[in-house]
Structure 1
């Protein structure tokens, strides 16, 4: 059983809330109280001096990161010591799954521009993390590889990783695919050079028209910038509007600059 024993209210509140959200069995005691005989894992505040019984696993919780402490406590309770693996199903809104040992400890679906930040946050304290990225959605995947240059990355054949989604599971496909990708070994890579195809550029232009307030698509040059990660579609649209407004202003200011006759 997990036992929370801390005088730090912030740690206590954060850890207990996370444990309840996870449906984990636990109890709490005051530091110095007698420990329950069934104690397997003790959670205290980082730096706190609490005497722990022999044979009990110790987890020290950062008040800013109670979820990490709970994940560590549950892993210790299950006797798991596997590495942290992050699986990513790339796309416009990538699915991201964090796996520790045999457990999925976190899952996300975020805009592509935010995926690398999420991954960095999730592996920050991990001793030996690896990120596994599906080989689909090549342009997004290549940008993620570049953005995660400080983390070991593997490229995974994602064929068959998206499961059949039954009734009520709509919208979960990318996250479940990310879980499957995390469980497959891939080829370790440090970069992935991808030249966008004409079809990929056209899809970016079509997407820009869909999100544009004026039903206008960005041009091919800006579409390439989006494909290469220089701009998001929204930023490219703003750049496109600025260029159009500038051209319109120049045209309105044009005309006969010659001297008028007296």
Structure 2
């Protein structure tokens, strides 16, 4: 059982609300009271960090109550509460954080923000693993190559995207990430991908869509985007000649002429 025991009102209020939102069974006591029978985890504030010695103690940060609740739930589940982060790669990856079989957090963020989110969620977890789907080859390679501080597994994501009924638009990537998290993959340190002509063309088309002048970047810049060296916006800046990188390469007329 989880027990909340703190004199810090902010910690008490935010942790209790977070536990209620999760539908978690818990109880509360004053910090100087005896813990109830069955107590296995205590969530408290920094002022009582050393008060409870016979149970697992989680010291909550008043600015991040969710983290304390995640840790408490993982502790209650014991060895089955390992943190696994599933990622369905793409331009806007779905990210699911599991403690054992329970989904404790989910995100749907732009690719440029995904590494920060994953590293933050893995930061305080014991032996976390990140499982990334092998689809969306360029995006998955970028994530694998940038996540160098955590164990990464590449997962065959075949069949992980569920059927979505009416009213579930936008949930597919996150639900796929949950399924990916539950599949064991191959541990990888890096993923080298040679982009196909079709993938290069997709990047060019995407740059044209984002360009104020309806102009696409050239193939050299598109390959740097594919390799994760530049974002599309950074490549467009170099293409205009106002970026911090090297001078713009000559463009093919069919990709650079204004329409």
Does the alignment pair 1:193 with 2:192? yes
What value does the CA root-mean-square deviation take over the aligned residues? 2.4
Alpha carbons 2:155, 2:184 under 8 Å: kept: yes
TM-score normalised over the length of structure 1: 0.84
Give the Cα–Cα distance (whole angstroms) in 1 for the partners of residues 142 and 9 of structure 2. 42
Give the Cα–Cα distance (whole angstroms) in 2 for the partners of residues 222 and 44 of structure 1. 52
Give the Cα–Cα distance (whole angstroms) in 1 for the partners of residues 148 and 77 of structure 2. 32
| Residue 19 of structure 1: aligned partner | 19
Deviation at 1:220, TM superposition (A): 1.2
Alpha carbons 2:31, 2:48 under 8 Å: kept: no
Deviation larger for 205-214 or 154-163: 205-214
Q: Which string of whole-angstrom CA distances, capped at 9 and with x for unpartnered residues, describes residues 69-108 of structure 1?
A: 1122233445564321111111000111111111111111
Deviation at 1:210, TM superposition (A): 1.5
Three-state SS of the structure 1 residue aligned to 2:48 is coil
Q: Structure 1 132/49 Cα, relative in aligned 2: closer, same or farther at 3 Å?
A: closer
| Residue 256 of structure 2: aligned partner | none
Report the number of matched residues.
Answer: 245
Alpha carbons 1:44, 1:50 under 8 Å: kept: no
Alpha carbons 1:47, 1:60 under 8 Å: kept: no
Alpha carbons 2:75, 2:81 under 8 Å: kept: no
Deviation at 1:53, TM superposition (A): 8.8
Three-state SS of the structure 2 residue aligned to 1:167 is coil
Deviation at 1:17, TM superposition (A): 3.0
Structure-to-structure mapping, 1:79-228, within 5 angstroms: 81-228=80-227
Deviation larger for 100-109 or 3-12: 3-12
Give the Cα–Cα distance (whole angstroms) in 2 for the partners of residues 158 and 49 of structure 1. 43
Deviation at 1:35, TM superposition (A): 4.1
Structure-to-structure mapping, 1:32-43, within 5 angstroms: 32-37=32-37, 39-43=39-43
Deviation at 1:142, TM superposition (A): 1.0
Does the alignment pair 1:72 with 2:74? no
Alpha carbons 2:153, 2:187 under 8 Å: kept: yes
Q: Structure 1 133/139 Cα, relative in aligned 2: closer, same or farther at 3 Å?
A: same
Alpha carbons 1:32, 1:50 under 8 Å: kept: no
Deviation at 1:243, TM superposition (A): 6.1
TM-score normalised over the length of structure 2: 0.85
